[in-house]
Structure formats: structure tokens, C-alpha cells
Amino acid sequence: MTADLPPKPAPRPDKVSLWRYMRLFRQDILSAQPARLYRAWMAEFRTPFFRSYLLNQPDLVTEVLKRRPDDFPKSDRIGEGLRPLLGNSVFLTNGETWKRQRRIIDPAFEGGRLRDTYPAMWAAADAAVARLRALRSDTVEIEEETSHAAADVIFRTLFSIPIEHEIAREVFAEFRTYQRSQPILNLAAFVPLPRWMPRFFGRDTRASARVIRRLITRLCDDRQAAIAAGTAPDDLATKIMTTRDPETGDLFDTSEMVDQVAIFFLAGHETSASALAWALYLVARYPDWQERIADEAAALETGDFSEISKLRITRDVFREALRLYPPVPMMVREATCPERFRDRDIAPGAQMVLSPWHLHRHTRLWDDPDAFDPARFGTENGKTCLREAFIPFSAGSRVCTGAGFAMVEGVLLLARILRAFRIEPVGDAPVPVAHLTVRSRDGIRLRLTPR
Ligand code: HEM
């Protein structure tokens, strides 16, 4: 099974100077880490300004994310690069503000609503297959295509508009500019900058955040007007903008809605695009699975939501892609009380790092952790690890709002694309690096042949 492993970044040597660590970190947080993190239960990083602890032991991960999330709020360092764009979005807030926002947002993503959202996803899958068929070359850089498809899914489900819509297109283009100017989400959370040091956002970052927010404000204002006129479509935006907080009766005001739409777009399209691109690469590399998915996808005929639950193999392949290349490779929380974990005293203010990247490849938890084997989820080890060591969407009360949504979207797009095409890898194996999400350093090139 271990013979032909999918790509994994080379780790750094165990001991490096802080300066070198920071330089490596700037390039890519995955290859900046030492190999011992794949077998450690807990690791400590000492820096001149704060301590960080990486937690891999399942019960410690559970303690932080599930049992006592209020004692481990999101570190405000995480928002460093994103605040100009995301303002007070649910991704960045803590405490009462966050709880209120989730009370309004969560109903839009409940199971029943997913059924209502499904036709828009189906239409986005049609459009994605049509775009791929229309490509002039048979070799494609697939991350470009999956970004396009995932952005299309978000606009269709949130605002009932396709990515070709003028505003959707502009938002999509401007997000790319923003990412280029502010490329690494978590950098500030790990790098030992003291808190008093001012943070500067480049002029480009601020300007592009302003453009995006202006465009999204137009969408929200138009929608507000349509709701008032009784002509609004029944999509996610309408649902969120008309849901009252069950405790206070309040609705989101426009600026708060703009914050949330910005995060839905960012968290919802970058991540799904990354997962789908890696899933397609993996099945290109291990083509037996491709055939099995294509067979299974024959069950997708009517566009009826109930069909998706029949795609068990596709789901396991998508899960295995999320395990090997978790789009959000690491998350950070901050200890607010003194703790004692594995005989170590942890002081308030310490940064607790939860790393799906390391947990998902942990050598003491998973059988054959670096191998691509979707069948593992049918084994005892796979089932146990799925419960205890698989957190691509995080876990606990702060779990990804879009987890159910993303599992339907990813499985549907993967199945529909493989029903339409045979795919093969082209050129060198991609090198995973973590920017905003886990991407390939030089893109992922695939050859598509219509079936
Ligand atoms: C494969 C796709 C996706 C993955 C792997 C993913 C992963 C994650 C993870 C790990 C977090 C927690 C981050 C942290 O705690 O620091 C998160 C949060 C979030 N995600 Fe996703 N996500 C995906 C798709 C989506 C989609 C489609 C949406 C919305 C349409 C979405 C909306 C959000 C939001 C709003 C949060 C913040 C939740 C909170 O802090 O309360 N995500 N996601």
C-alpha cells in the first residue's frame, strides 16, 4: 500500500534558528514544520513573545474544540490579515457577538435547507462540466477551474446568480487581487510579533477589500429591497437576512450582512476549490477509483437531492482528499486560564494550535497515514480515526457552518466531472503548500478526455 504515496512536503530539520523558522514559515507553513509533529501528541514552540502548543492527542483536541470552547476562544491574531475584508464576520468574532451571529446563520445551513440549495449546486455542476468541455486544450490547470466552480456554487446558492453575473465576476476577480496582496492567512498567528507592534496592511490590500465590500453591499442592498417588495428568491441570502435572532428578535443590519457574505465567499470557495482540486488529482493518479466514481455517478439522473446519499465511494474519496490535503491546515485558539496538558503548565495567552494537517497523517493514529486509500473508512481503524482524528471542518460549537454544504457540493462536483471525463496527471507531481488554504505550489495540471 505504501509503494506509491501522494505528495507530502519535505519537513524541515528538527532544530533551526527562530530567524530561519520565520523565513521558512513565510514561504509555507507546512514545510516549516519538523517531522516529529507527525508522531508527537503535543509539541511546544517557545518564542521570545509567546508560547505555542501544537495538540495532536485526540482528547486534548476534544477538550479545546468541543468540551471547553469558551475557555479557548479564537486567537485575535488569526484575523490579522483578514480584518480589512471581513470586518466583524462570524469567522473572527468571539463570545456573545459570535453566538448571536451563529444563531442567525445556522438555520440557513441546516439539513432541510441543503435540499433547497441542491438545485443551485446541480446547475453549477452543469456549468462546470460545460466549461471544461469548452476548453481549447485538453490539459488544464485544475485549481483555476475548481475555484471558478466553487465561486459559482456560492453565488448561485447565496444570491441566485451565476458567476457570469457582472457583480459576481467582479467580486471573484477582486478576491484574487486581495489574496495576492495578503496571501497568508495564519502567518501572524504563529509568528512571534509582539502585540504592541502595529500591523500594516498594504494600500493594495485595503483598496481591494474596499472594492469587494462595495460590491457585496450592492448585492445586499438590492436583496433588502427585493425582500421589502416581496420579490426576493428563496435562497441563502434571503434566509439569513430574514432570520431573527431567536433570543433578541434582531435581524442583521446591512454592514453585518456584508461581513458574513464576505466570509461565506472566502471560506466557502477557497476551501471547496482546494479540496476538489486535490480530489481530482488523487483520482487522476489512482485511476481505479476514477472508474468506480464514474460508475457510481450513473445514479445521478434526476437532480433529486436523495440521490447524493447513494454516492458512497465518491464520498469516501472526497473524505480521503480532505484527510490528506485538509484545505484549512491549522487553526489557532488562545488559552484564557492556566491549564495543565500532558504534565506541562500552560499560561493564559498561550496559542493552542490544532493541526488537521498533522492529525490526519499522525503515525500513531492512522494505518498507513500517508497513503491514498478511501477504503480505509470501512475499516475499524478508519472508523475510529474518522471520529477521533479527522477534523477538516474543525469540531464542536465552532465547527464550519458550511460542513454539510461542502460535503454535498464536493461529492456532487467530483461525481459529475468524473462522469463526463477521464483524467490523467500531467508533468511533475504537485507540491502542497499552505497559503490561504492548502494549494499546489505550481498548480495542478491534468489531462481531460471526454468519456
Ligand atoms: C471543503 C470545504 C470546507 C472546509 C474544509 C472548511 C473548513 C473550515 C474550518 C476548518 C473552519 C474552522 C476555522 C477555525 O476555527 O479557525 C471553518 C469555519 C467556517 N466555515 Fe468552512 N470549510 C469549508 C467550506 C465552507 C463553506 C462552503 C462555507 C459557507 C458557505 C463555509 C463557511 C464557514 C464559516 C462561516 C466558518 C466560521 C465558523 C465560526 O467560526 O463560527 N465553509 N471552515
Beta-carbon contacts of 392 under 8 Å, excluding residues fewer than 6 positions away, are 275, 322, 323, 326, 327, 328, 356, 360
- Ligand 1 contacts CB of residue 265 (under 6 A): no
pTM score: 0.93
Q: Assign 238 to helix, strand or coil.
A: helix
Count of alpha carbons within 13 Å of 20, Cβ hemisphere only? 9
Provide φ and ψ at 93, rounded to 5°.
-80, 170
Q: Which amino acid, residue 179? A: Q
The pLDDT score that the predictor gives to residue 31 is 72
The pLDDT score that the predictor gives to residue 202 is 61
Nearest-5° angle of CA 389, CA 151, CA 297?
65
Beta-carbon contacts of 363 under 8 Å, excluding residues fewer than 6 positions away, are 38, 39, 369
Closest residue by Cα to residue 37 from 71, 76, 8: 8
- Ligand 1 contacts CB of residue 264 (under 6 A): yes
Strand partners, 34: 12
| Distance separating alpha carbons of residues 233 and 166, to the nearest angstrom | 18
Q: Whose CA is nearest to atom 27 of ligand 1?
A: 268
C-alpha cell at 246: 431567536
- Ligand 1 contacts CB of residue 411 (under 6 A): no
- Ligand 1 contacts CB of residue 69 (under 6 A): no
The pLDDT score that the predictor gives to residue 197 is 44
- Ligand 1 contacts CB of residue 275 (under 6 A): yes
- Ligand 1 contacts CB of residue 91 (under 6 A): yes
Q: How far is the CA of 155 from the centre of ligand 1 (A)?
A: 16
DSSP states of 370-407 as a string? TS--GGGGGSHHHHHHHHHS--TT--GGGS-TTHHHHH
CA distances 92 to 262, 274, 350, Å, are: 12, 21, 18
The pLDDT score that the predictor gives to residue 267 is 83
C-alpha cell at 117: 440549495
The angle, 0 to 180 degrees and rounded to 10, between the axes of the packed helices 312-324 and 403-420 is: 110
β-pairing, 339-341 vs 331-334, is unpaired
β-pairing, 351-354 vs 51-55, is parallel
The pLDDT score that the predictor gives to residue 194 is 46
Mean pLDDT by 10 residues, the chain (451 residues): 79 70 66 85 81 93 97 77 77 90 92 90 96 90 94 95 91 80 47 46 71 90 95 94 93 90 85 96 97 93 88 98 94 93 94 93 97 98 97 96 96 97 95 81 93 91
C-alpha cell at 92: 473572527
